[in-house]
């Protein structure tokens, strides 16, 4: 069933997903770029996302720590798994482990000629970028009056919201909000969660929730030891 959203709104939401994905990624450069924050505000405003837009109230790039400090915090909290930015890390493992879940996520991507390079397919950046892609595909199909193609894109969005990103992003954003060092990322994670939540509501989707969430320091060694084992190269996601 095709959404009633207009192509203009679909495009605005697509841009919002793409931009917030970059802002939540391991490269902290976009986080310190006022133009990126402005682009997100513009996209959210055009999409009518008042709740998500409100999350950015008071977010001032000039008040952030410098890029080196932010990069260190990314490694400390996200890259080392304290607040892992992965779907499977924020949900209860099934009897068969995470393999089936990851394979299902990758299957969504393959259907739209998308693949994740250098990391798992359930990374938050990849999942938000996938929604950006499906919404753009839906907008273009609606504009061309390609009903079947629009329906395929809309159904993919609905299923992905229900089975994957909608099931964990709220909990992940809440965990970020509990940690003072991650304050720079909280408005963005909360905005992404709001965007996903309203996306689901607009499409009459109820995500499959899981109440489980790891504590912030679950299974992580002391800071000095952990930092010695961190990866040197950033994740590489397709554009």
The CATH number that applies at residue 219 is 1.10.3480.10
What pLDDT score does 92 carry?
A: 77
What pLDDT score does 122 carry?
A: 97
Residues of the chain where predicted confidence (pLDDT) is lower than 50:
215-239
Give a yes or no: residue 92 inside a domain.
Answer: yes
What pLDDT score does 178 carry?
A: 96
What pLDDT score does 215 carry?
A: 46
What pLDDT score does 194 carry?
A: 98
pLDDT tens, 67-108? Answer: 999 999 999 999 998 899 999 999 876 656 689 999 999 999
What pLDDT score does 216 carry?
A: 45
Give a yes or no: residue 2 inside a domain.
Answer: no
Give a yes or no: residue 238 inside a domain.
Answer: no
Q: Which domain holds residue 74?
A: 7-228
Check: pTM over 0.75? Answer yes or no.
yes
Give a yes or no: residue 1 inside a domain.
Answer: no
Domain count, the chain: 1
What pLDDT score does 81 carry?
A: 85
Give a yes or no: residue 53 inside a domain.
Answer: yes
What pLDDT score does 196 carry?
A: 98
Angle at 9 between CA 167 and CA 33, to 5 degrees: 75
Give a yes or no: residue 233 inside a domain.
Answer: no
What pLDDT score does 18 carry?
A: 98
Give a yes or no: residue 18 inside a domain.
Answer: yes
What pLDDT score does 95 carry?
A: 55
pLDDT tens, 131-146? Answer: 999 999 999 999 999 9
What pLDDT score does 91 carry?
A: 87
What pLDDT score does 234 carry?
A: 36
Give a yes or no: residue 84 inside a domain.
Answer: yes
């Amino acid at each position: 069933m095709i959404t009633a959203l207009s192509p203009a709104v679909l495009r605005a939401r697509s841009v919002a997903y793409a931009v917030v994905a970059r802002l939540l990624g391991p490269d902290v450069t976009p986080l310190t770029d006022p133009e990126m924050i402005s682009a997100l505000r513009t996209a959210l405003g055009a999409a009518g996302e008042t709740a998500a837009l409100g999350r950015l109230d008071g977010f001032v790039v000039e008040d952030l720590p410098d890029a080196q400090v932010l990069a260190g915090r990314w490694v400390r909290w996200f890259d080392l798994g304290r607040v892992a930015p992965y779907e499977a890390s924020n949900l209860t493992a099934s009897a068969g482990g995470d393999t089936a879940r990851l394979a299902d996520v990758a299957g969504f991507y393959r259907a739209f000629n998308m693949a994740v390079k250098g990391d798992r397919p359930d990374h938050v950046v990849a999942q938000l970028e996938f929604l950006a892609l499906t919404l753009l595909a839906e907008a273009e199909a609606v504009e061309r009056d390609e009903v079947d193609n629009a329906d395929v894109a809309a159904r993919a969005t609905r299923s992905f919201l229900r089975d994957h990103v909608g099931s964990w992003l709220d909990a992940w954003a809440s965990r970020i909000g509990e940690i003072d060092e991650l304050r720079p990322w909280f408005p963005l994670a909360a905005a992404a969660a709001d965007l996903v939540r309203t996306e689901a509501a607009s499409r009459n989707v109820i995500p499959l929730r899981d109440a489980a969430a790891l504590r912030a320091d679950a299974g992580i060694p002391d800071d000095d030891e952990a930092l010695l084992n961190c990866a040197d190269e950033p994740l590489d996601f397709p554009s």
